[in-house]
Amino acid sequence: MSLLEVRDLRVTYGSGATAVPAVRGVDLTLEPGTKLGVAGESGCGKSTLALALLRLLPASARIEGEILLDGDDVLAMSWGRLRAVRWAGASIVFQGAMHSLNAVHRIGDQIAEPLLVHGRATPAAARARVGELLEHVGLPAARAAAYPHELSGGQRQRVMIAMALACDPRLIVADEPTTALDVMIQAQILRLIERLVAEQSISLLMISHDLAVLADTCDRLAVMYAGRVVEEGPARTVYEAASHPYGRALSSAFPRIGDPASRRAPRGLPGDPPDPADLPGGCTFHPRCPVAVDACAEHDQELREAGAGRRAACVHVGSTS
């Protein structure tokens, strides 16, 4: 059985005429011990998706569909069950650890909190476990007494990861875990995440705008545009030979150093990612699409088979091959 199965997830903020559809029908599957990357640009709904997985969205958000974690629907479960699932079943690492950590509490107490709240440890045992967790993420156990402002950005992100690991979850959701970090620190954090998920066979759902980082870290890759997955498949294949024109454009926006084709030739797309409150009709990508045909302005495209283990939502996929 899959560890995580998302079925036709829809999230809408607000209601009536001002309703904003942030996620518009997403299906995803994550097998135990595997790593799935979700790529997309601002406003594509990727962070809403991350929050929805643990039912962390504000009350104003309307959620439809199913999120099956180990066969149990997160959206339908009782609060008591949900509390048990958060941290222990699945935990989340947010971007910007400065804002996610409490500035007036020592980091050791913050890491211990889920352990104590879930009644998994006595205060003394929790202290010992905190030291263990800190060393596990590459920080000295003595740093437990530090406050967030005494740590660098990379160290704070390590603390976030230690917190996420505290209750031995089976799934970690990482939302832009390395954004705003320097390249060298980013590499340190990515290697740490890779090592931990491999050692403890945790599954990883990593969300990022950086397709190159996801392709390097994950097994499979889903590309989101305007609240939908428009392409999904093995990470390397999607990065190197995307089937969807948006996937191709996003991939070529990341220059490969040494490749003469991208030397003095930055590539992007005309226009901007669409505003979720004002989506174009038909295929939402058609106004920016270099290969759009007349029908694209009229008809939306569903995901369809695009080769072994691959799906893409484009009129050009499957029609000729």
Partner 1 sequence: MSLLSARGLHVTFPGRRGAPPARAVDGVDLDIGAGEIVALVGESGCGKTTLARSLLGLVRPTSGAVAFDGQPLAYSSGALRAYRKRAQLVLQDPSGSLNPRHTVYDAVAEGLRIHGYAGDERAAVAGALARAGLRPPERFFLRYPHELSGGQRQRVVIAGALVLEPELIVADEPVASLDASVRGEILALLLRLRDELGLSALVVTHDLGLAWNIADRVAVMYLGRVVETGPVESVLTNPRHPYTRALLSVLPESEGAPVILTGEPPDPSRIPSGCRFHARCQLLASGEATAVADRCRGEELPVLGGGGGRAVACHWATTS
Nearest residue to 4 via CA among 89, 114, 92: 89
Tell me how far CA of residue 202 lies from CA of 50, 55, 222, 271, in angstroms: 17, 20, 19, 39
For position 243 contacting partner 1 by CB under 8 A, the verdict is: no
Radius of gyration from C-alpha coordinates of the chain? 20
Residue 30 CB, nearest distance to partner 1 (Å)?
21
Place of tokens 């066979």: 201
Question: Which is nearer to partner 1, 147 or 254 (by Cβ)?
Answer: 254
User: What token pair was written down for 320?
Assistant: 């000729």
Task: Tell whether the torsion through CA atoms of 52, 56, 62 and 68 is positive or negative.
Answer: positive
> If residue 87 lies in a helix (H) or strand (E), which one and from where to where?
helix 79-88
For position 273 contacting partner 1 by CB under 8 A, the verdict is: yes
- What single-letter amino acid sits at 301? Q
For position 185 contacting partner 1 by CB under 8 A, the verdict is: yes
Among 187, 194, 279, 318, binds partner 1 (CB under 8 A): 187
What SS3 state is found at 312?
A: strand
Q: What binding mask, one character per residue, do residues 46-85 give for partner 1 by CB under 8 A, x or -?
A: ----------------------------------------
For position 98 contacting partner 1 by CB under 8 A, the verdict is: no
For position 41 contacting partner 1 by CB under 8 A, the verdict is: yes
Among 64, 73, 150, 272, binds partner 1 (CB under 8 A): 272
Binding range to partner 1, per CB under 8 A, among 77-85, 98-106, 245-253, 289-297: 245-253
Binding range to partner 1, per CB under 8 A, among 52-60, 160-168, 178-186, 293-301: 178-186
Q: Binding residues for partner 1, how many (CB under 8 A)?
A: 41
Residue 160 CB, nearest distance to partner 1 (Å)?
17
| Apex 93 CA angle, 216 and 279, nearest 5 | 75
For position 182 contacting partner 1 by CB under 8 A, the verdict is: yes
Residue 4 CB, nearest distance to partner 1 (Å)?
24
Q: What binding mask, one character per residue, do residues 197-226 give for partner 1 by CB under 8 A, x or -?
A: ------------xxxxx-xxx---------
| Apex 306 CA angle, 46 and 42, nearest 5 | 20
What are the phi and psi torsion angles at 228 (to 5°)?
Answer: -130, 155
